[in-house]
Amino acid sequence: MTDRTRILLLLGPALVLVGGMVLSALGLALLRSLHLFPVVAPDLSAYATVLGSPGFLASLALSVWIATVSTALAAALALALALLLRRGFPGRGMVAVLVQLNLTVPHVVGAIGLLYLVSQSGAFARLAHAAGLIARPGEFPALTHDPYAIGIILTYIWKEVPFITLILLAKLQTLGEGHEQVARSLGATRWQAFRHVLLPQLAPALAAASALVFAFAFGAYEIPLILGAHAPEALPVAAWRAFTDVDLTRRPQAFAISVLVAGLGIALLLLYARLTLPQRGRHAG
């Protein structure tokens, strides 16, 4: 058996399964969004309707806002947490275990937990009442079902800081502290050693993890379902609502949204691949 045959036999089933399902899903969504399947006259009306509707644009803006703010804050906090966990302090092991524990908690649990924590009748509102800060639930700031999607963003930060932190810790472990120590011995301040030596080495891993988080926060359904406002809805909630609408003419619009989101996803995929996959013909770490 040649290597070529062997590779084909080993990889075949996985490729047929994943490739078959992923490419069919993307292809069918594209065809359905163009009214091409089952065969009707192809047209772009679904895209025209979606892109011309204020509701879609508001949902798109909301999802971009949620994904951008969640990713930026989670990345910054994760960088700080990874640097903290690199150093020794009493209780470090405990924090490290909690970081890993959080990673195994499903998002839907985090979202409901956060709802019971920060809603206007939640645990924090009760604490505020006990402290004499508010008299009625309505006086507590709206952090869930609110126009700024603060509850949604808090859930993503809660879930994704540990995710990015663990990726950074793995990277820090392979890097070691040699380069920084050389920089310090050559007269660099601690800030300079971090800014000009460590950060550039961490940047690809941080960017790759951030791309994953952005894509997830942009496209996840259950968190905005639980914590989001009625209008505008986050894009995945709006797309699912259009998809399950009794008015079947809205289905092509739902497919059009999913194709537009897939376009963004493919751009993020290529960025992620650039950052993590070894380039052909040159060695990358």
Partner 1 sequence: MRAETWRLLAGVLVALALVLPLVPLAIWSGAHGWRYPDLLPQQWSGKAWTLALSDRGGVVESLGLTLTIAIATTALAALVGVPAGRALGLYDFRGKRLILLLLLAPAILPGIALVLGLHDLFLRLGLVGTTGGVILAHLVPVLPYMTLVMAAVFAGFDTRIEAQARSLGAGPLRTFATVTLPVILPGLLTGALFAFLVSWSQYLLTLAIGGGRVQTLPLVLYSYAAAGRNDVAGAIALIYILPGLAILLFTASRVTGRGFGAVLRP
Binding residues for partner 1 restricted to 102-141, rule: CB under 8 A? 102-110, 112-117, 121-123, 125-127, 129-130, 137
Contact status: 72 vs partner 1 (CB under 8 A) = no
Residues 182-201 that bind partner 1 (CB under 8 A): none
Among 1, 3, 52, 185, binds partner 1 (CB under 8 A): 3
Which of the 8 DSSP states describes residue 231? S
SS3 sequence, 113-161?
A: HHHHHHCCCCHHHHHHHHCCCCCCHHHCCCCCCCCCCHHHHHHHHHHHH
Site string for partner 1, 208-227 (x = CB under 8 A): ---xxx-xx-xxxxx--xx-
Query: Under the criterion CB under 8 A, does residue 73 sit at the interface with partner 1?
Result: no
Residue 123 C-beta: closest distance to partner 1, Å: 5
Indicate which single residue of 34, 59, 193, 255 sits in contact with partner 1 (rule: CB under 8 A): 255
- Taking the C-alpha atoms of 220, 228, 159 and 14 in order, what is their torsion angle to the nearest 10 degrees? -10
The reply on whether position 258 binds partner 1 by CB under 8 A is: yes
Omega of the bond leading into 38 within 30 degrees of 0 (cis) = yes
The CA-based dihedral angle spanning residues 189, 195, 198, 202, taken in that order and rounded to the nearest 10 degrees: 170
4-33: which residues touch partner 1 (CB under 8 A)? 4, 6-7, 9-11, 13-15, 17-19, 21-22, 24-29, 32
Lookup result for tokens 């660099």: 188
Binding segment for partner 1 (CB under 8 A), chosen from 43-51, 86-94, 141-149, 175-183, is: 86-94
Residue closer to partner 1, measured from CB, 183 or 209: 209
| 247 is a site residue for partner 1 (CB under 8 A) | no
Which of 48, 57, 273, 284 is the binder for partner 1 (CB under 8 A)? 273
Q: How many CB atoms lie within 10 A of CB 168?
A: 22
Q: Is 99 in the site for partner 1 (CB under 8 A)?
A: yes
- Give the pair of three-digit tokens for residue 172: 């820090």
Token output for 274: 């650039």
**What is the spatial distance between Cα 34 and Cα 40, in angstroms, rounded to a whole number?**
9
* Residue 90 in the binding site for partner 1 (CB under 8 A): yes
Using alpha carbons, select from 90, 74, 184, 285 the residue that is nearest to residue 82.
Answer: 74
For partner 1, give the closer residue by CB, 155 or 228. Answer: 155
